Amino acid sequence: MSEETKAPEATAESKNGGGQLPKVEDILEALKVVKDPEIPVNVVDLGLIYNVHVNPNGVVDIEMTLTAIGCPVQDMIKADAELAVLKVPGVKGVNIDFVWSPPWTPARMTEEGKKQLRMLGFNV
Overall average pLDDT of the 2-13 stretch: 30
Edge to edge, the sheet with strand 49-54 lists: 49-54, 59-64, 93-98
Q: How confident is the model at residue 18 (pLDDT cuts 50, 70, 90)?
A: low
> What is residue 17's predicted lDDT score, i.e. its pLDDT?
44
| pLDDT tens readout for residues 46-99 | 999 999 999 999 999 999 999 999 989 999 999 999 999 999 999 999 999 999
For the chain, the domains span 18-119
Indicate the fold that domain 18-119 takes in CATH.
Answer: GMP Synthetase; Chain A, domain 3 (3.30.300)
Q: How confident is the model at residue 38 (pLDDT cuts 50, 70, 90)?
A: confident
Checking if the pLDDT of 11 tops 60, the result is: no
How are beta strands 93-98 and 59-64 bridged, if at all? parallel
| pLDDT tens readout for residues 94-103 | 999 999 999 9
Q: Where are the alpha helices (DSSP H) in 65-110?
A: 74-86
Q: Under a CB-based contact definition with an 8 Å cutoff, are residues 13 and 19 in contact?
A: yes
Phi, psi (degrees; rounded to nearest 5) at 57: -90, 5
DSSP code for 3: G
Q: Under a CB-based contact definition with an 8 Å cutoff, are residues 41 and 35 in contact?
A: yes
Phi, psi (degrees; rounded to nearest 5) at 71: -55, 125
